[in-house]
């Protein structure tokens, strides 16, 4: 079942201002709640100006809520952003830019997990690829949105654990033994400290669910930015990937955290290209921070580094460069 805001219909001219944006809820058999999906799309004039993802720390992204969608069919981009404990709507900066380029973007949000949800955390590794496929099916079956979707031109873009998810959709399969050891010794993943503090042992992972194939043959291209667990994918599954894949690491090779260093994927398949953005950092993938954002994070016991971009380029500039790279690849791989 899909519950979504009603879209108005009007003149065929696309608006020159912000893109359209709306939120839909999609039921899924793997979760006890509906998926929240934010849609960014080329729009006609109309709608209500809003800031998506605006809060005390992050600046919101301009959109026109429930604006009428522009006439025509558009290529689809599924986005999964963030790790286990990320806030929603961190991908608005990319969704809005891609909608301006003529894409219909569906940003699928995972749950924000706290200490009480630690036992469920490992299941996110295989639930999030399913979330993306479920959202795509819901859109394709919806009487309004399906009229504007080019189902021959579909891509998936992911960041962090979302990057792991889109590699899974492309045909990558995780090696259970390798993932179980990803918090051993000096192989610390991003969430190892959090797992340990909340009594989560990776060796208790549901091996059958983790190793299952999440290949979605409807996906024509995939882009993974700073994917987690990249060294835990089986070589055989990566070699069998049949669609173009871009893997992007944010940072210089000397500054990329070991848990996010995905350079090994570049030689895993002729279909996988590997790129770095040396002047960016992993935090460049997050929304723009407000001036007081770092102080608020520090006061609340969070990681204020989320709002610092080091000696490299500004976050706004990093967003422009990363969005331009992603859009160029999508236009190359999803030709009209």
Is-contact 240 207, C-beta < 8 A? Answer: no
- Residue for token digits 């859109």? 139
Give 273's strand partners.
246
- Which pLDDT band holds residue 32 (cuts at 50, 70, 90)? confident
Query: What's the pLDDT at 1?
Result: 37
Average pLDDT in the 171-195 region? Answer: 85
Residues 6+ apart with CB under 8 A from 209: 123, 126
Question: Which pLDDT tens digit goes with each residue over 126-182?
Answer: 999 999 999 999 999 999 999 999 999 999 999 999 999 999 999 999 999 999 988
Residues 6+ apart with CB under 8 A from 36: 23, 25, 88, 108, 109
More confident residue, 175 or 201: 175
Model confidence at 49: pLDDT above 60: yes
Query: What's the pLDDT at 277?
Result: 95
More confident residue, 187 or 277: 277
SS3 177: helix
Model confidence at 13: pLDDT above 50: no
* Helices (H), ranges, the chain: 92-100, 118-121, 124-141, 161-170, 176-180, 192-197, 207-211, 235-239, 293-299, 315-333
% residues pLDDT > 90 (the chain): 72
Question: Cβ-count burial of 285 within 10 angstroms (0-12 exposed, 13-18 middle, 19+ buried)?
Answer: buried
More confident residue, 193 or 307: 307
Query: What's the pLDDT at 80?
Result: 96
Query: What's the pLDDT at 227?
Result: 97
Model confidence at 30: pLDDT above 70: yes
How far apart CA 241 and CA 254 sit, in angstroms, is: 28
Model confidence at 11: pLDDT above 60: no
% residues pLDDT > 70 (the chain): 93
Tokens of 152: 């021959």
Query: What's the pLDDT at 270?
Result: 96
Average pLDDT in the 238-248 region? Answer: 98
- Which pLDDT band holds residue 14 (cuts at 50, 70, 90)? very low
Average pLDDT in the 211-224 region? Answer: 97
Residue whose C-alpha is closest to residue 104's, from 53, 161, 150, 68: 150
Average pLDDT in the 58-67 region? Answer: 97
83-87, 123-127, 185-189: which has the highest mean pLDDT? 123-127
Is-contact 41 149, C-beta < 8 A? Answer: no
Q: What are phi and psi of 20, to 5 degrees?
A: -75, 155
Question: What's the DSSP call for residue 226?
Answer: S
To the nearest whole number, what is the mean pLDDT of the chain?
90
**pTM of the prediction?**
0.93
Model confidence at 211: pLDDT above 60: yes
SS3 270: coil
Question: What's the DSSP call for residue 33?
Answer: S
Average pLDDT in the 264-292 region? Answer: 95
Lowest-confidence range among 9-13, 124-128, 134-138, 209-213?
9-13
Model confidence at 256: pLDDT above 70: yes
């Amino acid at each position: 079942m899909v519950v979504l805001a009603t879209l108005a219909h009007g003149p065929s001219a696309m608006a020159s201002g912000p893109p359209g944006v709306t939120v839909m809820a999609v039921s899924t058999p793997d979760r006890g709640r509906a998926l929240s999906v934010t849609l960014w799309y080329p729009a006609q004039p109309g709608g209500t100006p809003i800031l998506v993802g605006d809060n005390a720390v992050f600046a919101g992204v301009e959109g026109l809520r429930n604006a009428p969608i522009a006439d025509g069919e558009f290529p689809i981009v599924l986005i999964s952003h963030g790790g286990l404990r990320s806030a929603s709507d961190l991908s608005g900066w990319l969704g809005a830019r891609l909608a301006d380029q003529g894409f219909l973007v569906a940003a699928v949000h995972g749950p924000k997990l706290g200490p009480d949800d630690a036992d469920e955390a490992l299941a996110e590794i295989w639930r999030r690829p399913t979330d993306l496929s479920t959202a795509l099916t819901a859109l394709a079956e919806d009487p309004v949105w399906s009229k504007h979707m080019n189902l021959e031109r579909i891509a998936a873009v992911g960041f962090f654990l979302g990057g792991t998810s889109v590699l899974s959709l492309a045909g990558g399969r995780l090696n259970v033994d390798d993932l179980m050891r990803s918090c051993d010794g000096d192989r610390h993943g991003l969430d190892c400290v959090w797992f340990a503090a909340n009594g989560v042992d990776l060796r208790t992972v549901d091996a059958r669910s983790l190793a299952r194939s999440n290949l979605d043959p409807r996906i024509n291209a995939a882009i993974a930015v700073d994917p987690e667990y990249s060294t835990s994918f089986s070589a055989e599954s990566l070699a069998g990937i049949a669609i173009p894949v871009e893997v992007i690491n944010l940072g210089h090779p000397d500054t990329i955290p070991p848990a996010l260093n995905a350079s090994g994927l570049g030689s895993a398949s002729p279909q996988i290209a590997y790129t770095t953005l040396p002047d960016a950092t992993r935090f460049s993938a997050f929304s723009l921070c407000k001036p007081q954002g770092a102080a608020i994070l520090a006061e609340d016991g969070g990681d204020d580094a989320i709002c610092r971009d080091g000696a490299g380029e500004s976050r706004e500039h990093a967003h422009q460069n990363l969005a331009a790279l992603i859009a160029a690849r999508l236009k190359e791989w999803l030709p009209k």
